[in-house]
């Protein structure tokens, strides 16, 4: 069912200028904005596609919409590749056929949310804890559409002052966290183990690992160099910077929806 408050939108395939659409007739909640962005992303989905199904509060709306369109017969022959156990459970409950990267090493389209988006469409993901599987699946995608509300747009990665997640093996995690802090020290970094288990125990990812959350005070500058330095540390599995991966970012705000495309976007 189409949303009654779904606003018009302006694409920006060839221009860095984003012109806001006609304002919606009501003040929308953050969850409603996420749903609008998710529905726009599902417009990219075609029958017969292999889809990467994202994780989190925004991506769940896209997964629900795909399930709805399948039930209505408007989509068919869809295969979903879930990025987490939680998404797998949601997709199965909606009747979306599922597979994995072993059977489908090339994915037509992935749809997922993000925790931060910078002016070059670099992302921070993983505050929900699924960064490794998300990066594997979305990295195998021909097209990766990111859906966010306007609060996720930042001037630089780490600009929200919220966590940059790093997945680490549990073995001697304190040692790994300290090495991470040393690598990131020049950016005012604080490293904290993510909690979330029973009785204040460590949060455990779907892969059986821990997450160290990095809180940054300064712009990291050369993100590629920082990425390489993090990944060279023994004990690090993956980090939450998704660099040069997003094809399109759909941003829902109170003035409507903007579509930002790779190499032609500006915050």
How many structural domains is the chain composed of?
A: 2
Q: Which of 46-50, 118-122, 153-157, 199-203 has the lowest mean pLDDT?
A: 199-203
| Residue from 124, 149, 112 nearest 30 by CA | 149
Indicate if the pLDDT at residue 267 is higher than 60: no
If one counts every other C-beta atom within 10 angstroms of the C-beta of residue 92, the result is 14
The answer to whether 252 and 36 are in contact (CB under 8 A) is yes
pTM score: 0.87
Dihedral angle over CA of 176, 179, 184, 189, nearest 10: 70
Residue range(s) defining the domain that contains residue 106: 7-151+244-261
256 and 130: one domain?
yes
Query: Per the domain annotation, does 159 fall within a domain?
Result: no
| pLDDT interval class at 25 (50, 70, 90) | low
Q: Report the catalytic residues.
A: 134
What is Dmax (Cα atoms) for the chain? 54
12 and 97: one domain?
yes
Helix intervals (H) in the chain = 30-42, 59-72, 85-93, 131-139, 173-183, 223-231
Between 7 and 243, the higher pLDDT residue? 243
Indicate if the pLDDT at residue 164 is higher than 70: yes
249 and 230: one domain?
no
pLDDT given at position 2: 40
139 and 102: one domain?
yes
CATH no. for residue 88? 3.40.50.1360
Query: Per the domain annotation, does 267 fall within a domain?
Result: no
Indicate if the pLDDT at residue 244 is higher than 70: yes
Burial of 37: CB neighbours in 10 Å, binned 0-12, 13-18, 19+: buried
């Amino acid at each position: 069912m189409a949303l009654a408050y779904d606003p018009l939108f302006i694409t920006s395939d060839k221009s860095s200028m984003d012109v806001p659409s006609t304002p919606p007739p009501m003040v929308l909640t953050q969850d409603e904005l996420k749903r609008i962005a998710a529905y726009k992303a599902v417009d990219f989905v075609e029958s017969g596609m292999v889809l990467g199904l994202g994780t989190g509060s925004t991506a769940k709306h896209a997964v629900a919409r795909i399930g709805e369109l399948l039930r209505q017969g408007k989509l068919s022959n869809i295969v979903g590749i879930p990025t987490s156990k939680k998404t797998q459970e949601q997709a199965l409950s909606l009747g979306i056929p599922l597979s994995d990267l072993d059977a489908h090493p090339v994915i037509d389209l992935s749809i997922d949310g993000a925790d931060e988006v910078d002016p070059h469409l670099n992302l921070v993901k993983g505050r929900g804890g699924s960064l490794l599987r998300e990066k594997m699946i979305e990295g195998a995608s021909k097209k990766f559409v990111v859906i966010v509300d306007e609060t996720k747009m930042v001037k630089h990665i780490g600009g929200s002052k919220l966590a940059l997640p790093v997945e680490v093996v549990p073995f001697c995690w304190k040692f790994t966290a300290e090495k991470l802090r040393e690598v990131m020290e020049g950016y005012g970094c604080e490293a904290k183990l993510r909690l979330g288990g029973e009785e204040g125990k460590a949060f455990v990812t779907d892969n059986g690992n821990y997450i160290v959350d990095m809180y940054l005070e300064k712009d990291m500058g050369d993100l590629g160099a920082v990425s390489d330095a993090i990944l060279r540390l023994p004990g690090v599995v993956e980090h939450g910077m998704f660099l040069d991966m997003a094809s399109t970012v759909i941003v829902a705000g109170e003035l409507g929806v903007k579509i930002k495309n790779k190499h032609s976007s500006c915050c």
